[in-house]
Amino acid sequence: MADLLFCAKYPFTKEAREYVKESEAKISDEIIARAKKRVLSALLEGEIPKFSEVLSENLPKEIFSYAASRMIVSQTKGRYFISRYAVAEAKRAGKYLSTEEDGNFSKALLEFGIQFSREGKDTFKIPVLKYLKYSPKSIDYKLVNREVKGGAVFCTKQQLARIAEEAVKKSIETSLPIKAKVPSQVLGAANEIIKQLPVQETQVSKIASEDFPPCIRDLLERLAVSENLPHTARWALAVYLVNAGMSVEAIANIFKTAPDYSRETTLYQITHVKERGYKMPSCATMDTYGICNARCGCFSPLRYRKGMELRNTARNKETQGDI
């Protein structure tokens, strides 16, 4: 028999999917309403609140609302919306996991083949391969900054919950959109939601230029397809654009395509970068962040254009000399 509370918290698990399948529940107006609220919260607010109901009769509705929301978001026809929805669902799961009891914590992580063992009160270790597969692309999670021993990576419960969060996000992203035919109620709900969503515009195509170094162009391209960049990548991109002379508002518009975009937070962080006068990291530092993707020989991304000019001048002189 399914653990309904567990399934309501983690509706992406096999146990929850089997419960939905075996229940053969029909999509009711209440379930659609719950699903619409879930999707809108994810797409507009960037998060899905934890449910407060613990009454047993409400748990199935919570589980079914996840199944319906997946069908609804699949009809938005946008990778950005799917990614933003996946991030919101993952964050919700992460909040539950960070305070979960060991039994359910282990049960949820096993959904992704993540096995762990305890090493003390708040120290856990997981296999390196699973760690590399699901760890966030952040400097804090790079292997060189972790304790590794005997083929396992040591981390805290909070860090392990964050890794599981990334696994949830990837799982949802790769399973959507749903291609099967959906009920008319779902199509109606999706159309109502689409009307409430802001038009997604990006400035990336307007500023992309060969004058930008490969690492910056790569970050812009990843943003354009709604990839959820790690904090260090976002910070480096903001610092580069601020130092390149772009306004705070223009830079914030570039970050609109980030799945977890929040205008208020983005403006605050970019303003902070500008007011503090942060300097662009060197290529060596960018490499440690895992952002450097070419050997330009310019020592700093901001020197790339100048380096190009010097190389072109030298190349022209060589050509003229050959003639």
Domain for residue 323, yes or no?
Answer: no
Lowest mean pLDDT among 120-134, 166-180, 199-213, 228-242: 199-213
Q: What is the pTM of this model?
A: 0.76
The one-letter amino acid code at 27 reads I
Q: Burial letters for 67-106: b for 16+ Cβ neighbours within 10 Å, e otherwise?
A: bbbbbbbbbbebbbbbbbbbbbbbbbbbbbbbebeeebbe
Domain for residue 285, yes or no?
Answer: yes
Q: At what angle do helices 59-74 and 184-196 cross, to 10 degrees?
A: 70
Looking at the structure, do residues 232 and 292 belong to the same domain, yes or no? Answer: yes
Looking at the structure, do residues 103 and 161 belong to the same domain, yes or no? Answer: yes
> pLDDT averaged over the chain?
87
Matching residue, tokens 């170094």 = 213
Q: How many domains does the chain have?
A: 2
Spell out the residues 6+ positions from residue 199 whose beta carbon is closer than 8 angstroms to its own: none
Write the Ramachandran bin of 28: left for phi over 0, alpha for psi from -120 to 50, otherwise beta.
beta
Rounded to whole angstroms, the Cα distance separating 232 from 45 reads 23
Domain CATH code at residue 57: 1.20.930
pLDDT for residue 259: 85
* Structure-model confidence comparison of residues 55 and 15, the more confident one: 15
Looking at the structure, do residues 54 and 178 belong to the same domain, yes or no? Answer: yes
Tell me the per-residue pLDDT of 258-317, one tens digit each, with 9 for 90 and over: 888 888 899 999 999 999 999 998 888 888 888 888 777 778 888 886 666 665 565 555
Tell me the per-residue pLDDT of 170-225, one tens digit each, with 9 for 90 and over: 999 999 999 888 999 999 999 999 998 876 544 444 444 567 888 898 898 888 87
pLDDT for residue 202: 43
Spell out the residues 6+ positions from residue 16 whose beta carbon is closer than 8 angstroms to its own: 2, 6, 7, 8, 10, 63, 66
Looking at the structure, do residues 313 and 191 belong to the same domain, yes or no? Answer: no
Residues spanned by the domain of 26: 4-196
